[in-house]
């Protein structure tokens, strides 16, 4: 018995050291770039390695190129959603509005006026940004926040849904089929935004995701990001120390809408036809926000990891059992478990595992209280404030943030 | 192009539209009742509300189509079953999140929405169903009243009266209203707020189930109909003021009227656009709702 407990203690000590190393390493300036480049390289080689054997079967049997495109698509949308809802805590339940505009505008322009979809994407994202300006301008001016903001954004999204259902010139309720590249004088290829195979779409999606992630990272590390997180943590306090809260919330919403439209364009160029319900519907709002929530709210890696996890897990569940609805059940159960068990999201799992193993050892040493696991944040390591972001939120309008046990008292 | 109805219609047509508006509005109000009660007490926007109504619909369908009993038997059954589901959901997932994690609670209800709808679809398939009730309609001097809608109105009105009496005339009901007014003070005067939460969530879910059961009297349904009613319920409760029962009733009637008259005067489903425009306007000018104020529930 004493032998076992000693070896257990040794194991815990080792885990504790690992947690510390992990925490220290995550705090270094090069941690995020190294992880980011690693993730990028992994995603670049992923479609090339579908023949690699895993668990006695091909990797391609678990994930098809199609699923990977869809995963990156929702990752892009979630990354954009995260800019306003994760950073500034303004929980939007209506990003389908921007997604749908991004999906519809390029298709309509290329069908009616033979405009290249890339230009159409720009037009769509500008329109989405203007729409966001209207939504944000009205709601922030009238100080609509929390649950009410979620409902306002939902109403604006549903408004577009019913508008597009009713305007026959835009295809009406049954929508229309995507025009072929020669409809706007182009050949299949990058310039036409249409390909004959799936894999090129994957790399376009990866490129868009990369741009959006870099923009999100730049915002997060800038002064603007600091203001946004201050608004999320305590809007009244941020306003009191002179942060123009309305202006910054508006900025976040507009940028977020602009890039959400990119994901919409990718959607409409990838699939064959479009209908209002599938790009503006209630459930699209959920598809956009869930990867970010599951992965880790307010983090850059969260939406990407969350989207890969959700899409691949639900696809594997569907393929292995053969019941399509099981996909949704897996989706819901994953969401439930993440919210209840790890509100910081999937990105906090490695450090949480190490921490959990290390707790008894730390109590025995008890030299100085360690900070929370820094893995949940990617802010500049020099700012102590940044390290505490993940744990210090109040619950207000800020889903999946903080440890619920903290709020129990 | 848009073909609009002439603005002036005969009194018979107007009376007919008015009656249909009241009938539809009462269903909308009833669907919203549970949502607004839950928000009033717990400040949770319960997205799973739409899924609860769907469960209610299929309970009635089981009773009426599979067991071949009267669909009216399904109504209390749906209420009891959903009361259980609501209490269980509150107990196992929402209560452990503690007092302040409103955003997390919202996401939990989202998860339940997804899971419940998927399970219903797995069990009953997505095929639209309709009760073969054989309901007709009654005519009163050029105005006809569809029978199914009338039963729905009567059950909804009776249930609402019972709920109102419960909330205003019983000790437990007053405790619920007290908790809605101020949770902390309610706890100070000895109200078991946790128990009130279970009860409220169960009550809200039961009302959603009842509403779903009544919807089967009125229209065909599929597992996704709950989402449409969820959006309507959001609009109604915000119009009336989140947490206000009187507001839910008046908001429901208002939305019902806009929909019926909008469907008459405007082409297609533009009435939905109209409803949402009114919703956005009210929300921006008076976020506490038309009838909402400092007093709730």
A169: helix, coil or strand?
helix
Cα dihedral A28→A29→A30→A34 (10° resolution): 90
Q: Judge: A407–B101 Cβ closer than 8 Å, yes or no.
A: yes
For residues A58-86, average pLDDT: 90
| CA of B117 vs chain A CAs: smallest distance (Å) | 9
Q: Would you state the pLDDT for residue B293?
A: 55
Count Cα neighbours of A362 within 13 Å in the Cβ-side half-sphere. 16
Extract the residue ranges of chain B whose pLDDT is less than 70.
1-7, 100-101, 292-297
- Shortest CB distance from A400 goes to which of B107, B122, B276? B107
The number of beta carbons lying within 10 Å of the beta carbon of residue A229 is 23
CA distance B270 to chain A (A): 7
Average pLDDT, chain A: 82
Could you tell me which of A2, A17, A105, A81 has the C-alpha nearest to residue A362?
Answer: A17
What contacts A208, CB < 8 A, 6 or more positions away? Answer: A72, A76, A262, A263, A266
Closest CA to A197 of A68, A44, A107: A68
ipTM of the complex: 0.85
Q: Chain A within 8 Å of B282 (Cβ-Cβ)?
A: no
Residue A282 has pLDDT above 90, yes or no: no
CA distances for B127 relative to A400, B60, B83, B131, angstroms: 35, 16, 27, 13
Per-residue pLDDT tens for A157-193?
999 999 999 988 888 888 899 888 888 888 888 888 8
* Residues in chain B within 8 Å Cβ distance of A339: 97, 104, 107-108, 111
Length of chain A: 409
The pLDDT tens digits for A350-380 are: 777 777 766 655 554 444 444 444 444 444 4
The whole-angstrom distance between residue B67's C-alpha and the CA centroid of its chain comes to 26
Mean pLDDT of A250-265: 97
Identify the bridge partners of residue B221 per DSSP, sorted by sequence position.
B129
Q: Which residues of A touch B226 (CB under 8 A)?
A: none
Q: Is A401 left (phi over 0), alpha (psi -120 to 50) or beta?
A: beta
d(CA B219, CA B221): 6
CB A86 within 8 A of CB A220: no
Per-residue pLDDT at B296:
39
Task: Write the residue in B39, B102, B284 that is nearest to A142 by C-beta.
Answer: B284
Q: Which residue out of B90, B96, B104 would a mutagenesis test of the A interface target, given it has the greatest number of A Cβ atoms within 10 Å?
A: B104
What pLDDT shows up at residue A370? 46
| pLDDT in the model for residue A366 | 46
Q: Searching chain B, which residue's CA lies closest to the CA of residue A285?
A: B110
pTM of the shown model? 0.84
Contact yes or no for B230 and A282 at CB 8 A: yes
What confidence tens digit (pLDDT) does each residue in A374-408 have? 444 444 444 333 333 433 333 333 344 333 333 33
Nearest neighbour of A404 by CB, restricted to B97, B111, B279: B97
Pick B231's closest partner by Cβ from A158, A335, A407: A158
Is residue A227 over pLDDT 90?
yes
**A325 closest CB neighbour out of B103, B121, B231:** B121
The 3-state secondary structure of chain B reads CCCCCCCCCCHHHHHHHHHHHHHHHHHHHHHHHHHHHHHHHHCCCCCCHHHHHHHHHHHHHHHHHHCCCCHHHHHHHHHHHHHHHHHHHHHHHHHHHCCCCHHHHHHHHHHHHHHHHHHHHHHHCCCCECCCCCCCEEEECCEEEEHHHHHHHHHHHHHHHHHHHHHHHCHHHHHHHHHHHCHHHHHHCCCCHHHHHHHHHHHHHHHHHHHHHHHCCCCCECCCHHHHHHHHHHHHHHHHCCCCHHHHHHHHHHHHHHHHHHHHHCCCCHHHHHHHHHHHHHHHHCCCCCCCCCCCC
Q: Please tell me the distance from the alpha carbon of residue A114 to that of residue A120, in angstroms, as a whole number.
A: 10
């Amino acid at each position: 018995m004493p032998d076992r407990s000693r070896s257990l203690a040794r194991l815990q000590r080792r885990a504790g050291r690992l947690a510390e190393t992990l925490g220290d390493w995550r705090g270094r300036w090069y941690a995020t770039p190294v992880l980011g480049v690693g993730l990028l390289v992994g995603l670049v080689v992923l479609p090339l390695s579908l023949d690699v054997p895993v668990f006695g079967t091909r990797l391609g049997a678990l994930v098809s190129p199609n699923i990977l495109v869809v995963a990156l698509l929702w990752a892009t949308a979630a990354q954009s959603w995260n800019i306003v809802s994760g950073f500034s805590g303004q929980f939007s339940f209506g990003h389908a509005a921007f997604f749908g505009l991004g999906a519809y505008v390029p298709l309509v322009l290329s069908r009616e006026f033979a405009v290249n979809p890339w230009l159409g994407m720009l037009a769509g994202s500008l329109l989405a940004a203007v729409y966001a300006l209207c939504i944000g301008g009205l709601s922030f001016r009238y100080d609509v926040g929390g649950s009410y903001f979620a409902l306002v954004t939902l109403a604006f999204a549903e408004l577009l849904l019913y508008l597009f259902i009713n305007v026959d010139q835009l295809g009406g309720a049954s929508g229309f089929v995507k025009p072929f590249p020669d409809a706007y004088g182009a050949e299949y290829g990058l310039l036409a935004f249409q390909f004959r195979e799936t894999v090129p779409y994957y790399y376009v999606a990866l490129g868009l995701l990369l741009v959006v992630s870099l923009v999100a990272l730049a915002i997060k590390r800038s002064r603007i990001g600091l203001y946004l997180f201050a608004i999320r943590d305590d809007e009244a306090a941020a306003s009191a120390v002179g942060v123009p809260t309305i202006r910054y919330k508006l900025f976040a919403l507009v940028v977020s809408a602009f890039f959400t439209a990119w994901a919409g364009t990718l959607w409409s160029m990838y699939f064959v036809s479009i209908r209002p319900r599938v790009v503006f519907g209630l459930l699209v709002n959920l598809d956009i926000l869930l990867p970010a929530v599951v992965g880790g709210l307010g983090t850059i890696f969260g939406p990407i990891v969350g989207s890969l996890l959700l899409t691949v897990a639900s696809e594997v569940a569907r393929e292995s059992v053969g019941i399509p609805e099981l996909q949704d059940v897996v989706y819901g159960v994953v969401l439930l478990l993440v919210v209840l068990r790890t509100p910081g999201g999937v990105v906090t799992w490695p450090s949480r595992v190490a921490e959990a193993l290390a707790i008894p050892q730390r109590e025995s040493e008890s030299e100085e209280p360690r900070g929370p696991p820094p893995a949940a944040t990617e802010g500049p390591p020099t700012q102590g404030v940044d390290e505490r972001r993940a744990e210090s939120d109040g619950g207000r309008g800020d889903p999946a943030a903080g440890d619920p046990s903290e709020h129990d008292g | 192009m848009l073909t609009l109805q002439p603005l002036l219609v005969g009194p018979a047509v107007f009376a007919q539209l008015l009656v249909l508006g009241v009938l539809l509005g009462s269903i909308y109000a009833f669907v919203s009742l549970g949502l607004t009660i839950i928000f009033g007490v717990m400040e949770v926007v319960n997205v799973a509300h739409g899924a609860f109504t769907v469960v209610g619909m299929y309970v009635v369908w089981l009773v009426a189509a599979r067991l071949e009993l009267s669909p009216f038997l399904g109504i209390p059954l749906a209420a009891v079953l959903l009361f259980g589901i609501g209490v269980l959901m509150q107990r196992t997932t929402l209560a452990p999140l503690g007092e302040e994690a409103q955003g997390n609670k919202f996401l939990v209800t989202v998860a339940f929405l997804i899971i419940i709808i998927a399970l219903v679809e797995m069990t009953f398939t997505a095929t639209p169903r309709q009760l073969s009730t054989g309901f007709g309609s009654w005519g009163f001097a050029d105005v006809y009243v569809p029978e199914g809608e009338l039963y729905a109105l009567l059950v909804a009105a009776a249930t609402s009266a019972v709920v109102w009496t419960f909330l205003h005339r019983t000790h437990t009901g007053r405790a619920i209203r007290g908790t809605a007014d101020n949770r902390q003070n309610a706890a100070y005067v000895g109200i078991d707020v946790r128990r009130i939460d279970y009860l409220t969530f169960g009550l809200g879910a039961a009302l959603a189930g009842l509403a779903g059961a009544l919807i089967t009297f009125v229209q065909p349904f599929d597992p996704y109909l709950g989402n449409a009613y969820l959006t309507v319920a959001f609009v109604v409760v915000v119009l009336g003021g989140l947490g206000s029962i009187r507001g839910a009733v008046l908001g429901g009637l208002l939305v019902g009227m806009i929909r019926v008259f909008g469907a008459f005067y405007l082409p297609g489903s533009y009435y939905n656009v109209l409803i949402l425009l009114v919703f956005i306007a009210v929300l921006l000018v008076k976020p506490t709702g038309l009838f909402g104020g400092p007093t709730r529930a």
